[in-house]
Amino acid sequence: MDKKKVAVPLVCHGHSRPVVDLFYSPVTPDGFFLISASKDSSPMLRNGETGDWIGTFEGHKGAVWSCCLDTSALRAASGSADFSAKLWDALTGDELHSFEQKHIVRACTFSEDTHLLLTGGVEKILRIFDLNRPDAPPREVDNSPGSIRTVAWLHSDQTILSSCTDIGGVRLWDVRSGKIVQTLETKSPVTSAEVSRDGRYITTADGSTVKFWDANHFGLVKSYDMPCNVESASLEPKFGNKFVAGGEDMWIHVFDFHTGEQIGCNKGHHGPVHCLRFSPGGESYASGSEDGTIRIWQLGPAIHDENDSVPGNGPTGKVKVSADDIAQKIEGFHISGEGKTTEKEKATDA
């Protein structure tokens, strides 16, 4: 009887509560990097290829719902239930600025030119902060129809995308006028919205459906029904021929973009999958789960026997730094104790 072959991911431990957002940097001269947001209040930075832990950003006092890196991976940003968005130095881990708000910040993202930070949350206000003048008041776009769940930039920072926690649809805003120019209609609230690397598609997950929209003309290109409610979906960035989706059934499903046929299913998480993102080159993708782990899966033929040991890359064990490319990032980074959580539960899980 043949041994069953299964995909064995890199398992990244370190977060003590659910992982709710993941973000890959583009490829930089030092490689590429992965940042994770968790309800444990401490975003973590990792080597995007190996999953090795580099450092932890310490300073939030509530769940961190969103995180991102700028195009050079020199700065990070995070949005939290402690009513703030923070800007970080990704080399040292130092907090550069805290943008205080009046309610939970659910989403944040850097503009393509890295000069602006966009945030959104329970206040129903999109705020655009000028990072060259961080103390200046932000520009506010305040007619979102609901609590903001996701945000993104399109069209060389001329358009903003947002979705809401409690109502369906994706709204596209003209940055100059602050007006909604288009709404992409969905039945359920959109829990994940990703602009493809080449700027051609917007990938959305709503309920048990994954949709692909033309990012320039806003027409619906493809819509596929999923085997369960999915919380996140990501399109392979290099060839655009595959996508992954994950949600409440704890599995990561791999599909053919052109036909919608399921071509793979990866099992390993012990809780619902909250976030999925492809690496910038498309050779792997990361998943974050209610179980507190991040798993990095190879898209290609990284198949092992079912009883092979699975490597773990957490901040408790030895941080295996074989490549010189991340030595600079590790140097001077604040190293935190594992599992240290700050209890501000009032707003944490809102």
Q: What is the pLDDT of residues 110-119, one digit of tens each?
A: 999 999 999 9
Model pLDDT for residues 256-272, shown as the tens digit of each residue: 999 999 999 999 999 99
d(C-alpha 212, C-alpha 196), whole Å: 10
pLDDT band at 136 (very low <50, low <70, confident <90, very high): very high
Mean pLDDT calculated for residue range 206-222: 97
SS3 92: coil
How far from 199 is each of 232, 249, 350, CA to CA, in Å? 19, 30, 32
Amino acid making up residue 138: P
Residue with tokens 């881990």: 93
Model pLDDT for residues 280-299, shown as the tens digit of each residue: 999 999 999 999 999 999 98
Q: pLDDT: is 52 or 7 the higher one? A: 52
d(C-alpha 190, C-alpha 71), whole Å: 25
Q: pLDDT: is 329 or 85 the higher one? A: 85
d(C-alpha 347, C-alpha 304), whole Å: 42
pLDDT at 314: 53
Cβ proximity of 47 and 54 under 8 Å: yes
pLDDT band at 306 (very low <50, low <70, confident <90, very high): very low
DSSP state of 312: B
Burial letters 70-108, b for 16+ CB under 10 A, else e? beebbbbbbbbbbbbbbbbebbebebeeebebeebbbbb
Mean pLDDT calculated for residue range 52-80: 98
pLDDT at 341: 36
Mean pLDDT calculated for residue range 231-260: 97
Report the share of the chain in percent with pLDDT over 70. Answer: 84
* Two tokens, residue 35: 């940042």
The torsion defined by the Cα of 201, 206, 209 and 214, in degrees rounded to 10, comes to -20
In sequence order, what are the beta bridge partners of 22? 36
d(C-alpha 246, C-alpha 28), whole Å: 28
Mean pLDDT calculated for residue range 104-132: 98
Residue 12: exposed, middle, or buried by beta-carbon count in 10 A (0-12, 13-18, 19+)? buried
Residue 251 CB-half CA count within 13 A? 13
Beta-carbon neighbour count of residue 135 at 10 Å? 8
* Two tokens, residue 5: 């072959």
Cβ proximity of 326 and 47 under 8 Å: yes
pLDDT at 6: 72
Amino acid making up residue 132: N
pLDDT at 192: 98
Q: Is the pTM of this model over 0.85?
A: yes
How far from 111 is each of 128, 153, 201, 217, 302, CA to CA, in Å? 9, 6, 18, 21, 35
Burial letters 240-271, b for 16+ CB under 10 A, else e? bebbbbbbebbbbbbbebeeeeeeeebebbee
Question: Rounded to 5 degrees, what are φ and ψ at 288?
Answer: -120, 140
Cβ proximity of 289 and 15 under 8 Å: no
How far from 34 is each of 49, 113, 213, 247, CA to CA, in Å? 9, 20, 26, 20
How far from 160 is each of 179, 195, 344, CA to CA, in Å? 10, 11, 31
